[in-house]
C-alpha cells in the first residue's frame, strides 16, 4: 500500500515524526524474514532558480536529459500542477553537459518551467 499525505509543522518535529516512522518494523513474511522496515519516501515540490542562459545545462543536470518515459503515469497531476504554477512543459534537451550532482536513488519528474520576472535594470530577479 502507498499512502500519500502532506505534513506540516515545526521542521525538527516533522523530521522526528518521519525518523520514528522509518524505525518501525512491520510483520511481513518474505524470503525467510518475518519483518520489513517501514519505507518513508518524500514527495517534495521544489522551485529551482537559475539564469535563463543555463536552462539546458540545468535541465540536463536535474532531470538527466529528456523528461522520463514513465512521466505518462503522472501526466494529469503534472499538467494540473503546471497550470497552477503558470508554467510551460519542460522541453526535451539535447544538451550533453551537466553539473556533478549526486543523483542515485532519486527520481525527478519535471512539472514545468517558466521565465523569471525581469528587473527594471534588465536582468532576471532570480
Dump pLDDT digits (tens) for 81-96. Answer: 999 999 998 887 788 8
Question: In terms of domains, do 67 and 36 share one?
Answer: no
Question: In terms of domains, do 49 and 34 share one?
Answer: no
Q: Which three cell numbers stand for residue 82?
A: 503546471
Question: In terms of domains, do 49 and 39 share one?
Answer: no
Domain tally for the chain?
2
What's the mean pLDDT in 110-124? 82
Q: Is the pLDDT of residue 73 over 80?
A: no
Question: In terms of domains, do 15 and 36 share one?
Answer: yes
d(CA 84, CA 24): 36
pLDDT band for position 33 (cuts 50, 70, 90): very high
pTM: 0.72
Domain assignment of residue 19, given as a range: 1-43
Question: In terms of domains, do 12 and 50 share one?
Answer: no
The pLDDT of residue 68 is: 59
CB 14 within 8 A of CB 26: no
The pLDDT of residue 8 is: 82
Question: In terms of domains, do 8 and 21 share one?
Answer: yes
Question: In terms of domains, do 118 and 80 share one?
Answer: yes
Amino acid at each position: 500500500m502507498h499512502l500519500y499525505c502532506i505534513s506540516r509543522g515545526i521542521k525538527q518535529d516533522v523530521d522526528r515524526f518521519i525518523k520514528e516512522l522509518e524505525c518501525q518494523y512491520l510483520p511481513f513474511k518474505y524470503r525467510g524474514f518475518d519483518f520489513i522496515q517501514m519505507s518513508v519516501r518524500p514527495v517534495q515540490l521544489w522551485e529551482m532558480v537559475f539564469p535563463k542562459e543555463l536552462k539546458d545545462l540545468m535541465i540536463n543536470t536535474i532531470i538527466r536529459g529528456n523528461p522520463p518515459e514513465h512521466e505518462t503515469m503522472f501526466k494529469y497531476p503534472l499538467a494540473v500542477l503546471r497550470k497552477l504554477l503558470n508554467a510551460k512543459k519542460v522541453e526535451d534537451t539535447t544538451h550533453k553537459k551537466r553539473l556533478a550532482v549526486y543523483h542515485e536513488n532519486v527520481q525527478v519528474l519535471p512539472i514545468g518551467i517558466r521565465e523569471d520576472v525581469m528587473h527594471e535594470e534588465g536582468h532576471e530577479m532570480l
